[in-house]
């Protein structure tokens, strides 16, 4: 295992070099330490990942608003963070919703946990961007910039399968394992994502590990090709990718219900077709037929179970679409004349393989999220108020006040000592709350209400003029 001090040193260097806000250091350190721990990185692999992280030139808190004619209309509820790659200079900006900062300063443990989840997710994306000529890859997703009729067009593929891999990685970086049936984020595509990777013969940990490879896109394509053997892979890979993207876009739009159902139909049909092709490929070409059939049977069972759960999750009635599960491997073997002894032997191997898979999912790494929460709280007390959007400053200051009150009530007002600090620096840190001086809660609330009134008035004027 890599030494934590080495991780700290490398993170401090990249933060200083790119002039990032130092209050983000605890979460960056923890991200790299946990990834290195999960993937068992050596020094070279860690150095390469840190090198890719040097593309990150800005990390900040913002307010995600829908904008119309330059006027903020309403706050996004579903959009809480993003990682933006700028093609022209190959630089990355990472943004988190201002509500995360408020939650941390209020010492709201549930909100701090959500920030940790989100930060692990976005930082995972940040070390995956690569540009080769006119192609930009991020994990498994690929952006192709094509000059068509004198216009530069961007073609995006496999975006959501990449997000699916990232939420798996997020879960194990936060929890130390992936034993949960559902992960945090992108809930609407998780059942479909599991159907797809089982159809390809890929397990969740394998997918998650693959995403952190420097050439993840190429590795993803090669793995599918190898798993499918003599079966042409490109059509299935592209089709599944497009289906998952469509399910993500259509799942919450009732007006698009019919199109959504069509995508689910395509998903189950394609999966069933691929399992049948893989079955006959194993029968004809495998050097270890029993083991390969056992693995295929487990994957098929997983896919069929997720399909049934997907139908239930989206309340798909038989009048809309009938479930179309793949025929059971044992049944197909019986129809081909394989005897009971062979099927019993197959079942024994399946049980052994299932046990191994479960042990892998349950493999627990010990991460101290309580200490990380405390480190984040003390670190973000230093977040400069001048970096906060003007309209959000009253709310941020009020959150600081409420957080300190809460900690006093919990008798947790004492902060962790800063590493390598002398007494004078520590005293300065503990008392670094000058932006609260001269403020009273009543004044802050009144100012916040005034800002809201001004915004509402601007919006009403805009709506009135638009109608006229």
DSSP 3-state of 65: strand
C-alpha triplet 383, 387, 393: angle, nearest 5°: 85
Determine contact, residues 98/72, Cβ cutoff 8 Å.
Answer: no
Q: Is 245 left (phi over 0), alpha (psi -120 to 50) or beta?
A: alpha
379 vs 24: CA distance, rounded Å: 7
pLDDT, position 77? 56
Pairing of strands 129-132, 141-148: unpaired
pLDDT of residue 420: 46
CA 304 vs. chain centroid, Å, equals: 25
pLDDT for residue 415: 65
Backbone angles phi and psi of 64, in degrees to 5: -85, 105
- What pLDDT, on a 0 to 100 scale, did the predictor assign at position 73? 52
Q: Residues near 186 by Cβ (< 8 Å), separated by ≥ 6?
A: 160, 163, 164, 167, 248
Q: Comparing C-alpha atoms, which of 229, 238, 240, 296 is closest to residue 270?
A: 240
Write out the E strands in 185-331: none
Determine the angle formed by the axes of helices 289-313 and 340-362, rounding to 10 degrees. Answer: 60
Output DSSP code: residue 243.
H
Domain boundaries, the chain: 1-126+368-462, 178-363
For the chain, 468 residues long, the average pLDDT of each consecutive 10-residue run is 86 95 96 94 93 94 69 58 86 93 94 95 92 80 66 69 94 89 90 97 93 91 94 94 94 92 96 96 92 94 95 95 91 92 92 86 84 94 89 91 90 61 42 45 56 54 48
Cα separation, 102 vs 57, in Å, equals 23
Number of H helices, E strands in the chain: 18, 9
Cα separation, 268 vs 323, whole angstroms: 8
- Lateral strand order in the sheet of 129-132: 129-132, 135-138, 141-148, 151-157
Q: Are 245 and 155 in contact (CB under 8 A)?
A: no
Q: What is the model's pLDDT at position 432?
A: 43
Phi and psi for 249 in degrees, rounded to 5? -75, -30
Q: Looking at residue 359, what is its pLDDT?
A: 82
């Amino acid at each position: 295992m890599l030494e934590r001090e080495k991780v700290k040193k490398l993170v401090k260097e990249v933060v200083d070099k790119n002039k990032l806000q130092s209050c983000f250091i605890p979460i960056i350190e923890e991200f790299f330490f946990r990834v290195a721990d999960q993937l068992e990185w050596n020094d070279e692999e860690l150095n390469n990942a840190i090198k890719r992280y040097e593309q990150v030139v800005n990390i900040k808190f913002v307010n995600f608003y829908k904008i119309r004619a330059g006027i903020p209309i309403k706050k996004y509820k579903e959009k809480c963070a993003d990682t933006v790659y700028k093609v022209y200079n190959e630089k990355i900006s990472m943004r988190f919703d201002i509500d995360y900062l408020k939650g941390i300063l209020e010492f709201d443990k549930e909100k701090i946990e959500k920030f940790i989840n989100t930060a692990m997710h976005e930082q995972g994306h940040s070390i995956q961007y690569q540009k080769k000529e006119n192609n930009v890859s991020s994990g498994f997703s690929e952006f192709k910039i094509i000059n068509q009729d004198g216009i530069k067009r961007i073609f995006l593929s496999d975006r959501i399968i990449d997000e699916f891999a990232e939420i798996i990685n997020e879960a194990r970086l936060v929890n130390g394992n992936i034993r949960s049936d559902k992960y945090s984020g992108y809930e609407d595509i998780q059942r479909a994502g599991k159907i797809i990777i089982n159809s390809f013969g890929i397990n969740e940990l394998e997918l998650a590990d693959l995403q952190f490879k420097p050439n993840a896109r190429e590795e993803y394509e090669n793995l599918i090709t190898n798993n499918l053997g003599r079966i042409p892979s490109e059509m299935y890979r592209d089709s599944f990718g497009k289906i998952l993207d469509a399910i993500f876009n259509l799942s919450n739009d009732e007006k698009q219900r019919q199109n959504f159902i069509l995508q689910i139909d395509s998903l189950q049909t394609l999966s069933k077709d691929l399992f049948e092709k893989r079955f006959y490929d194993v029968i004809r070409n495998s050097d270890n037929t029993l083991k390969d059939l056992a693995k295929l049977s487990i994957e098929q069972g997983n896919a069929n179970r997720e399909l049934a759960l997907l139908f239930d999750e989206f309340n798909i009635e038989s009048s809309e679409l009938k479930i179309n599960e793949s025929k059971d491997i044992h049944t197909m073997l019986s129809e081909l004349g394989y005897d009971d002894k062979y099927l019993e032997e197959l079942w024994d191997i399946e049980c052994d393989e299932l046990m191994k898979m479960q042990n892998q999912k349950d493999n627990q790494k010990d991460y101290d999220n309580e200490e990380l929460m405390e480190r984040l709280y003390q670190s973000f007390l230093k977040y400069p108020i001048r970096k906060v959007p003007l309209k959000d400053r009253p709310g941020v200051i009020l959150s600081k006040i409420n957080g300190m009150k809460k900690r006093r009530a919990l008798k947790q007002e004492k902060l962790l000592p800063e590493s390598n600090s002398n007494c004078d620096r520590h005293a300065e840190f503990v008392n670094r709350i000058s932006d609260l001086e001269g403020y009273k809660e009543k004044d802050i609330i009144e100012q916040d209400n005034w800002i809201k009134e001004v915004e509402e008035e601007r919006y009403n004027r805009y709506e009135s003029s638009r109608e006229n």
